Amino acid sequence: MGLQGKTVLITGAARGIGRACAVRVAEEGADVVLTDIADDQPDIPYSLGTAEQLEQTAELCRKNGASVLLAAADVRSPSVVKSAVTAAVDRFGRIDVLINNAGIGAPAGKATHDFTEDEWRVVLDVNLSGPWRVITAVAPVMVAQQSGSIINVASTAGLVGYRYFAGYVASKHGLIGLTKSAALDYAPLNIRVNALCPGPVRDDPAVDGHMTAVVADALGISFEEQVAVDLESVPTKSLVDPADVAGAAVWLAGDDSRKVTGTVITVDAGYSAR
């Protein structure tokens, strides 16, 4: 119960890593604010998390004793993000931890020069500007508290390049840069900012995982072929579970990491060690 008494806000909480993080922090005693766009978007070429999935995440958290606040929120909208943060403070009085998890894996699957302006823009808007917008809304709350932990979910794509994923790679590299600069901005105020870089993550049905399927579709290969590629890329010969990422997030959220800021932690089964 290392997060007892803390309030944790998680974006992209309907499924996948976001759901895994939500359940883990609830198990650790935190109350949670769960946000997700909870609707498909015409400029994103695959199905996004749903309101039903977000409610399922909430129910799993409640079973672990957490008080839960739900908010449908598109991180591309500053006003919507600010409204969600205001609702969180009105409900719980504080925000101790932000897990900036909302992100998209496509449009992708083509050479750099083949992306349209709109395709490039939507990936950067969600994956880089989105976390920045949430930080701008949450940081004043943490500044007033003189405490907080911000965890940006990046990717090994923030450390290396991936063929046919230029927008995604650029957005995740940018997120790591944002993490380091924000860590310096807030260090004197006892607010820590760190990034997690998951490697190939298994599509765990327990959390409605889907990103392997998104990557396979973008590259025009089968799901099984993408899994084989992922397994070949990691020295451990086993994929990362969403729960592995959630475990690292819990550590960054808690007091045991109180002197850790401006860092990048890989949870990638050894992928980036090559």
CA dist., res. 213 & res. 196, Å (int): 21
Three-state SS at 219: helix
Dump pLDDT digits (tens) for 54-72: 999 999 999 999 999 999 9
pLDDT of residue 82: 98
- Mean pLDDT of all residues in 10-25: 98
Answer yes or no: is 269 within a domain. no
Beta strand 148-153 with 191-198 is: parallel
274 vs 34, higher pLDDT: 34
pLDDT for res 1: 84
> Quick check: is 2 in a domain?
no
Q: Which domain does 207 fall in, by range?
A: 7-261
Instruction: Please report whether residue 122 resides in a domain.
Output: yes
Give the pairing of strands 264-267 and 148-153. unpaired
Residue 149 lies in a domain: yes
Q: What is the mean pLDDT of residues 186-206?
A: 97
Instruction: Flag whether pLDDT at 223 surpasses 90.
Output: yes
Residue 169, Cβ density class (10 Å: 0-12 exposed, 13-18 middle, ≥19 buried): buried
Which of 46, 162, 164, 168 is flagged as catalytic? 168
Q: What is the CATH number of the domain that holds 184?
A: 3.40.50.720
pLDDT at residue 42, rounded to an integer: 96
Check residue 274 and give its pLDDT.
85
Q: Find all residues with CB under 8 Å of 98, minimum gap 6, and list them.
A: 8, 9, 10, 134, 135, 138, 148, 149, 150, 151
**Would you say residue 67 lies in a domain?**
yes
Q: What percent of the chain has pLDDT over 70?
A: 100
**Within a domain: residue 104?**
yes
How many domains in the chain? 1
Would the pLDDT of 133 be above 90? yes
CA neighbor of 9 nearest in space, from 17, 241, 21, 1: 21
Tell me if 209 is assigned to some domain.
yes
Give per-residue pLDDT as tens, 140-195. 999 999 999 999 999 999 999 999 999 999 999 999 999 999 999 999 999 999 99
Residue range 246-267: average pLDDT? 98
Kindly state whether residue 107 falls inside one of the protein's structural domains. yes
Mean pLDDT of the chain: 97
What radius of gyration, in Å, describes the C-alpha atoms of the chain? 17
Return the bridge partners of 192, or none. 149
Is residue 20 within 8 A of residue 245, CB to CB? The reply is: yes
Q: Does 186 qualify as catalytic in the annotation?
A: no
61 neighbors 34 (Cβ within 8 angstroms) = yes
**What pLDDT shows up at residue 115?**
98
